[in-house]
Chains A and B, each alone.
Chain A
Amino acid sequence: MAMQQLHKMLDDEVVVSSLACTTIDWYQVEDRPLNFYLFGGMGMASSIALGMSVSMPSRRIIGMEGDGSVLMNLGSLASISVMKPENLILIIWDNEVYESTGGQVTHTGRGVDLSAISAAAGIKQSHLVETPQEFERLASRALKEPGPWVIVAKVVGDVDKSKAPPWRPVYYTHRFLDAVSK
């Protein structure tokens, strides 16, 4: 539901989505040329989004991560804090499980708070949201006000994994490059 809410608010923002269920879920919302889907590189979506945001300062870049992926690359939060790109929004869909491998609990399901880690890293706009209303309010602000923003959204995972994007990573790279060059 939160992804649908976000989608309604978007215009020409870039979206980088982490592998597996994050990409499958976002693809089902809308397959846009400005989507960059990851099919591998767990942990990398936030770093790719950071690299894009510094390289394309006139575009708003939304990184979509899962909790398991972010836990694999916590240094990324430190790097976001240090580079401070105002055009970066990192949304962490925190369902507290590794959804695509059978629902095993991650450390966020055992009490680890990624929004607190983000805040302690020095990212001023670090938020934890637990309702769709809170998410909509914050996402709306993040799309207008300078960041970087880190929004940890507690969600329930129930992605229909049968509707994944076709495995065409080369095609998506070239489609994305064409779209951002316009």
Chain B
Amino acid sequence: MSDAEDLPWTEVLFQALKDAKIDAISYVPDEGTGALVPAIEADPFFTVFPATREEEGVGLLTGAFLGGKKGALLIQASGVGNLLNALASVNLTADIPLLMIIGQRGGLGEFNPCQTPGGRAVPAYLSALGVSCYEAGTCAELADMVDGAASYAFTTRQPAAVIVNQHLQKGKRR
């Protein structure tokens, strides 16, 4: 546990995705999860699908899953509002799993009022759809939750989400 806490959270996330055998990544970058993009694009383990919109990322990773891959979508919290129909009407009806890694917005320390309502609503959006959602506040939690959520998603064939909270993104500990 102390080893994980010494690393930047982005490195912990990168390794956790690889350890969970997530070999397809789609993203619409935010400051936090976007910092992983160069490392992910440089690593031949991952097939990368840059998306123009978060909902498109859901479609791309649905195609990747049907083509034999396991996908994670890296997005900002506000992007969840952009993907609900694809999640609800494709993944949740057709046995197509997906892991979502969501950079929290609208949490402690938020400075942008436009990010607050949508960011704050993410757990409620996902709960309304019956999608399991876990909030990580430390690197150890992040590693455990990515491992557990990936296992959950691809075994039960459901979408699942891990939220990286704003304090963890800023390098602060709970």
Nearest CB to that of B61 among chain A residues?
A51
A44-B58, A47-B60, A79-B51 given; A55·B67 CB < 8 A: yes
Q: Taking the complex as formed, is B15 at the interface, i.e. its CB lies under 8 A from any CB of chain A?
A: no
Interface size on A, residues (CB 8 A): 36
**Which of these binds chain B: A33-41, A107-115, A126-134?**
A33-41
Q: Complex: how many Å from CA A47 to CA B68?
A: 16
Q: Complex: how many Å from CA A16 to CA B24?
A: 20
Within 8 A of A (CB), among B14-63: 24, 47, 49-53, 55-56, 58-63
Q: Taking the complex as formed, is A106 at the interface, i.e. its CB lies under 8 A from any CB of chain B?
A: no
A55-B24, A55-B47 given; A48·B56 CB < 8 A: no
**Which of these binds chain B: A1-9, A93-101, A148-156, A167-175?**
A167-175
Q: Are A52 and B49 in contact (CB under 8 A)?
A: no
Chain B residues with CB under 8 Å of A169's CB are 93-95
Q: Taking the complex as formed, is B85 at the interface, i.e. its CB lies under 8 A from any CB of chain A?
A: yes
A48-B62, A55-B47, A172-B94 given; A75·B68 CB < 8 A: no
Q: Taking the complex as formed, is A138 at the interface, i.e. its CB lies under 8 A from any CB of chain B?
A: no
* Chain A residues near B (Cβ < 8 Å): 16, 36, 38-44, 46-56, 73, 75-76, 78-79, 82-83, 169-170, 172-174, 176-177, 180-181
